[in-house]
C-alpha cells in the first residue's frame, strides 16, 4: 500500500465528527396530513370525504461550511389519484458577509407573510382565499433569491427574486424569467411580551396579463384542477402584511395570541382591448385572522377573508365578463398532543356566486416525525 493511500485511509478515520454527520446524515422529516371534509370549498385543494392533504417528505443538511441544501416532496390525493410534487430543491449560502444570503433552485417565494412558510405550520386547514385565488395556495418556483438582513436594532430584511413564472403564466410560451419579486420586512418588540412584523411585497409577472380567450371559461376556475396555479393572474401584484404576537413574558409555551392580516392588489389582469367588454381593471383580496392558545394543548381561532376574481369567456365575436367575489369565514379549534401532533376541527362558511355549498366541516390531523425545523415568526 503506497503512502498516499495510507494517508487517505488514516485521514478518513479522524475526520471531524461534525463534517461526517453533515455529509452522511441529512436531517429527514415527515409531515402526515389527513382529513375528513363534509362540503366542498370553492377553489379548494381538498375534496369531500376522506383524503390526504399536504403530506411532506423533507431532507436537509449543511453541504459544507459554505452551503446548505434542502429538498421537500409533497404527496396529495385527489379522488383515485395520488400526486407527487417536488416543492423545494435548493441550495443556500451560509458564509456570505454583511448579512447577505443567496438561494438557488426551487423554493417557496418570499412574497407576503404566509407564502414562505410550509403548509403544516398554518393554524387553519387551508390557506386564505386570497392566497388560493392570486397565488395558487402557495407559490413555489424555480429561480434565485438574494436577501440581506441589515445590522440594525430594528429587524430589517430586504430581498429580490427572479423566477421562471411558469406556475403564474397566462400564456403558453412565456418568458424564460417571467416573475420578479421585491420584499421588505421590518419588525421589533413592543415589550417583553409583545412583538410585531410588517411587510411590503411586489410581484411583477411578465406573462400574467391574459391576451387571448377561447370559447370556454377563463379566470375563476370553478373546478380546481390541482395544478396549484393561481385562479387569476395579472402583471402586477402588490401586498402588505402585518403580524402581532403576544405571550406573557415572551413565553409562548403556555399562552399566546397571534393577530395577522394581509392585503393584496392585482392589476393589469387582461389586455386593454377587453375593457369595453366589461373586463376588470384590478382585483383585490385580504384576510384577517386571530388565534389564541389558552393552554399548551388547546387553541382556537377565527379568520375572515375576501377575494375578487372574474369569469370571462368568448361568445363568437364578443366577450362576456362577470365580476366575482368570494367570502369565507373560518372558525377552528385545535388540540396538540405535543409540539409534533395536531388534531383540528374547523367550520367554514362560504359565500360566493358559483358554489352550492355554504357550510363546510373539516376534521384534520397533522403529525410530524423526524427532523422538524423551527417555525418562522
List the Cα angle 52/80/171 in 5-degree steps: 85
Mean pLDDT of 282-298: 95
Measured in whole angstroms, the distance separating CA 319 from the mean position of its chain's CA atoms is 33
pLDDT given at position 6 = 41
User: Alpha helix (H) ranges present in the chain?
Assistant: 3-13, 17-24, 129-134
CB 55 within 8 A of CB 72: no
User: What pLDDT shows up at residue 341?
Assistant: 93
What pLDDT score was predicted for residue 19? 45
Confidence band of 335 (pLDDT split at 50, 70, 90): very high
The closest alpha carbon to 243, from 374, 112, 108, belongs to 112
Q: CA–CA separation, 351 vs 297, rounded Å?
A: 32
Judged by DSSP in three states, 10 sits in helix
Distance CA 163, CA 105 (A): 9
CA–CA separation, 53 and 35 (whole Å):
7
Find residue 10's DSSP bridge partners: none
CA distances from 43 to 93, 165, 219, 226 (A): 37, 21, 12, 9
Highest-confidence range of 71-75, 166-170, 191-195, 259-263, by mean pLDDT?
A: 259-263
**Domain ranges (residues) in the chain:** 92-360
Mean local confidence (pLDDT), 265-271: 88
How much is the average pLDDT of 361-369?
A: 95
Task: Give pLDDT, residue 218.
Answer: 54
Q: What is the mean pLDDT of residues 207-213?
A: 79
**What is the residue-wise DSSP string for 148-193?**
EE-SSSSEEEEEEEEE--GGG-SSSS--SS-EEEEEEEEEEESSSS
Length of the chain: 377
> Which position has the grid cell 382556537?
300
Q: Residue 316: pLDDT band by 50, 70, 90 thresholds?
A: low
Contacts of 130 (CB under 8 A, 6+ apart): 262, 264, 285, 286, 287, 305, 306, 307
Pick the more confident residue, 359 or 25: 359
* Grid coordinates of 81: 389519484
The per-residue pLDDT of the chain, averaged, comes to 85
d(CA 251, CA 117): 22
Contacts of 376 (CB under 8 A, 6+ apart): 116, 117, 121
Q: What are 303's strand-pairing partners?
A: 289, 330
| pLDDT above 50 (res 17) | no
Q: Which residues pair with 342 in a beta bridge?
A: 336, 366
Q: What is the pLDDT of residue 377?
A: 77
pLDDT bucket at 312, cuts 50 / 70 / 90:
confident
CA dihedral in degrees (227, 85, 73, 165; nearest 10)?
-60
3-class secondary structure, 101: strand
pLDDT for 241: 98
What's the rounded mean pLDDT across residues 311-339?
Answer: 82
Q: In terms of C-beta density within 10 A (0-12 exposed, 13-18 middle, 19 or more buried), how is residue 18 classed?
A: exposed
Q: Which of 89, 92, 69 is nearest to 22 (CA)?
A: 69
pLDDT of the residue at 93: 96
Please state which of the ranges 23-32, 49-58, 236-245, 342-351 shows the lowest mean pLDDT: 23-32
Nearest to 27 by CA among 64, 67, 65, 71: 71
Q: State the pLDDT at residue 317.
A: 61
Distance separating alpha carbons of residues 357 and 250, to the nearest angstrom: 42
pLDDT (tens digit per residue) in 51-109: 888 899 999 999 999 999 999 999 877 767 788 889 999 999 999 999 999 999 999 99
More confidently predicted of 215 and 155: 155
Region 128-157: what's the mean pLDDT?
95
| CATH topology (fold) of 92-360 | Porin (2.40.160)
Amino acid at each position: 500500500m503506497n503512502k498516499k493511500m495510507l494517508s487517505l485511509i488514516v485521514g478518513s478515520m479522524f475526520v471531524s465528527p461534525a463534517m461526517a454527520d453533515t455529509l452522511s446524515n441529512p436531517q429527514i422529516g415527515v409531515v402526515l396530513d389527513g382529513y375528513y371534509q363534509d362540503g366542498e370549498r370553492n377553489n379548494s385543494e381538498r375534496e369531500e370525504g376522506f383524503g390526504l392533504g399536504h403530506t411532506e417528505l423533507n431532507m436537509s443538511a449543511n453541504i459544507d461550511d459554505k452551503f446548505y441544501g434542502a429538498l421537500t416532496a409533497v404527496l396529495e390525493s385527489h379522488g383515485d389519484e395520488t400526486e407527487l410534487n417536488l416543492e423545494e430543491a435548493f441550495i443556500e449560502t451560509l458564509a456570505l458577509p454583511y448579512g447577505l444570503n443567496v438561494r438557488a433552485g426551487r423554493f417557496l417565494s418570499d412574497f407576503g407573510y404566509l407564502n414562505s412558510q410550509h403548509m403544516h405550520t398554518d393554524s387553519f386547514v387551508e390557506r386564505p382565499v386570497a392566497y388560493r385565488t392570486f397565488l395558487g395556495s402557495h407559490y413555489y418556483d424555480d429561480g434565485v433569491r438574494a436577501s440581506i438582513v441589515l445590522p440594525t436594532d430594528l429587524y430589517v430584511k430586504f430581498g429580490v427574486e427572479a423566477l421562471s413564472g411558469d406556475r403564474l403564466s397566462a400564456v403558453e410560451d412565456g418568458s424564460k424569467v417571467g416573475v420578479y419579486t421585491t420584499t421588505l420586512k421590518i419588525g421589533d418588540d413592543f415589550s417583553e411580551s409583545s412583538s410585531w412584523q410588517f411587510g411590503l411585497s411586489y410581484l411583477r409577472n411578465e406573462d400574467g396579463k391574459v391576451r387571448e380567450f377561447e370559447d370556454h371559461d377563463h379566470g375563476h376556475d370553478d373546478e380546481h384542477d390541482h395544478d396549484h396555479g393561481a385562479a387569476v393572474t395579472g402583471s402586477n401584484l402588490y401586498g402588505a402584511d402585518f403580524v402581532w404576537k403576544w405571550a406573557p413574558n415572551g413565553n409562548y409555551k403556555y399562552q399566546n395570541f397571534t393577530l395577522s392580516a394581509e392585503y393584496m392588489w392585482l392589476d393589469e389582469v387582461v389586455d386593454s382591448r377587453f375593457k369595453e367588454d366589461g373586463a376588470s381593471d384590478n382585483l383585490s383580496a385580504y384576510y384577517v385572522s386571530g388565534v389564541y392558545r389558552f393552554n399548551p394543548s388547546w387553541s382556537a381561532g377565527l379568520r375572515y377573508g375576501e377575494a375578487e376574481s372574474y369569469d370571462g369567456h368568448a361568445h363568437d365575436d364578443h366577450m362576456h365578463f362577470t365580476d366575482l367575489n368570494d367570502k369565507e369565514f373560518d372558525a377552528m379549534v385545535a388540540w396538540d398532543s405535543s409540539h409534533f401532533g395536531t388534531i383540528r376541527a374547523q367550520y367554514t362558511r362560504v359565500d360566493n356566486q358559483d358554489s352550492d355549498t355554504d357550510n363546510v366541516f373539516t376534521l384534520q390531523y397533522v403529525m410530524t416525525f423526524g427532523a422538524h425545523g423551527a417555525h418562522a415568526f
